[in-house]
Copies of this chain bind each other. A is one copy, B any other.
Amino acid sequence: MRGLYLVTDRAVCGHRTVEEVVLMALRGGAACIQLREKDVSTRDFVEEAQRIKAIMAPFRAFLIINDRIDVALAVGADGVHIGQRDMPYEIARKLLGPRAIIGLSVETWEDVERAGALDVNYLGVSPVFETPTKTDTKGHWGLEGLSRIRAATRRPLVAIGGLNAANAADVIRAGADAVAVVSAICAAPDPYQATRELNVIIDDSLALYHR
């Protein structure tokens, strides 16, 4: 996992649909779309995921489903992102198979240590900064915490939480392979332009800092 990673939030998209924002982000160069829905029926989630998958077909980007392995299996997504209160990782891997992308959020150092024993495809470092779009977290990592995790693991790191064009370069320098955003794209006046700007920063920073 590398580059710009969009996590959707229907409430933050404002007057645009999630589908519209995803299309604009793909045109702007997003490398990964994580579809996150918490308060919809399984049917609505599956149908939305099917629409998003169709929109993504012409693009080289991954479709990741938040939490719901049933939805990922139903639509043939590239993988899932799971948090510490979602499906246990080992069961998720068994259900999705060895080729699926499975990302796991780490919110504490204990999470990082436990994840070290797992063949996860990336760690979601969550949250790097304080953020209004996710309030159920246990403090934030900061750039220092991100650097500590970078030193402790060779897994790709997806940084998330309060990230935008002003701090994207910093998180790449601190060790992130991908920058995940919600509001910076979903709530932008022009999600396409916002994605392009973020992408330039992320690509330049990866070229500059990355091993």
Could you say which of A41-49, A120-128, A152-160 contacts chain B? A41-49
Binding-face segment, A80-88, A174-182, A185-193:
A80-88
* Interface-located stretch among A2-10, A67-75, A105-113, A140-148: A67-75
Q: Please classify how large the interface on chain A is, using the bins under 10, 10 to 19, 20 to 34, 35 or more.
A: 10 to 19
Shortest CB-to-CB span from A77 to chain B, Å, is 13
Please determine whether B95 and A70 come into contact, CB atoms closer than 8 angstroms.
yes
Q: Name the residue among A42, A43, A84, A86 with the largest chain B CB count within 10 angstroms.
A: A42
Contacts of A91 in B (CB 8 A): 46, 74
Main secondary structure of the interface of A (DSSP, over half): helix
Q: Which residues does chain B contribute within 8 Å of A85, judged by CB atoms?
A: 41-44
Chain B residue numbers with a CB within 8 Å of A43 are: 84-88
Complex CA gap A73/B93 in Å reads: 12
Q: Which of A52-100 contact B (CB under 8 A)?
A: 67-70, 73-74, 84-88, 91, 95
Point out the residue from B44, B74, B84, B88 that lies within 8 Å of A46, measured CB to CB: B88
Interface residues of chain A, those whose CB is within 8 Å of chain B, are: 41-44, 46, 67-70, 73-74, 84-88, 91, 95
